[in-house]
Amino acid sequence: MKKNTEMKETLGSVREIISDSSFDNPTYLGIAYFIRDLFFFSVTMFLLWNVDTWYYLPFLWVFAGLSIASLFIIGHDACHGALFKSERVSYWIGQIAMLPSLHAYNQWGYGHNRVHHGHTIKLKGDFVWHPVTPEQYKNFGIFRKAFHRLAWSAFGGGIYYLVEIWLKGMVLFTAPMKEALRDKLLMLTFALGSAGAVFYFGGNTPNGFDLGLGTWFFLKVWLLPFISWNYFIGITVYVHHIRPEVPWKDAEEWTPFYGQMRGTVNYHVPKFANFFMHNIFIHSPHHVHMKIPFYKLGQALKEIKAHYGAYVVERKSVLKDYIESTSKCKLMDTETGKWMTYSEAFNDEDESEPELETAAT
């Protein structure tokens, strides 16, 4: 391992102390994880198709969301070039792994790799869970205000991701690259084809097509697993970068070191959750260098902590932090970097905004 005795606050200096072994990514291991995750996803879908017992279904929807998340993380690492040395293997496995989450490989990579990683928690740079100022909020229409209150509440993690990231970023927006359009068309074809197939074959009975049964299968096997996945990823991304004590900074104050080290939170989750989530909660090493495969993130974190431990943000409880942050982080004063609730933002003004908050709660 290379040693950095000067302890410079630069992203390059952090990268220098990560050992070569933290980047080892044998092809067989990436393929083995992919096959494993595809197996659990297939089993979960099989069970959802064949089980109608009401008290089993919520558990199956949770497992479906987790299994989709597992495959997505495989695609995530492949798109970063972390899982395989071959670009062709990365593309095809990444493309397949991202289809259950309805993400287009290169379309997603454009926003995530270039924008989110390049401008993590930078105002007017990073688009993921970007803060809104009190002045911006006041200029919102009634429906946009209502959506903001829902999306930034404890119930809103999945809704925010579904609308702001998936619908706007994956469906309505097309990245300026031919590969993005090709992959988006492939993803949309898969989405419509799989939804239609579930609806048709689910409602097909010996006595003809049953509309109600087809609708039920569409909800049970297709839509609710997709919503479950959106909540897993939405909450995950939220706790990675939103904390009351972590302000976003404008371009003049922001540095890559600040964004990737101070603006990225690490969690140590139970082994059961990590079995599906592939170390995604050990997040700052991934932001320090995107080519570290997920199964090496724990090793890389230890190496970073040995030299830059004072800068590493580690937390214990994802759910507790999520509840706390969603109760405190609503709007941001970009001059001070302070997160505020709606009441704190408008406590010196007329009573219209506090009344709106009371009515909403």
pLDDT in tens, 244-267: 988 999 999 999 999 999 999 999
- Domain limits, the chain: 11-346
pLDDT for res 349: 54
> Which stretches of the chain drop beneath a pLDDT of 70?
1-7, 348-361
| pLDDT tens digits, 105-138 | 999 999 999 999 999 999 999 999 999 999 999 9
Quote the pTM value. Answer: 0.92
Residue by residue, DSSP assigns 111-172 as IIIIIITTSTTBTTT--TT----HHHHHTS-HHHHHHHHHHTSTT-HHHHIIIIIIIIIIII
Cβ(79)–Cβ(87) under 8 Å?
Answer: no
pLDDT at res. 356 = 42
Distance CA 311, CA 64 (A): 36
pLDDT at 164: 96
Which among 313, 314, 308, 309 has a CA at the least distance from the CA of 16? 308
pLDDT in the model for residue 348: 54
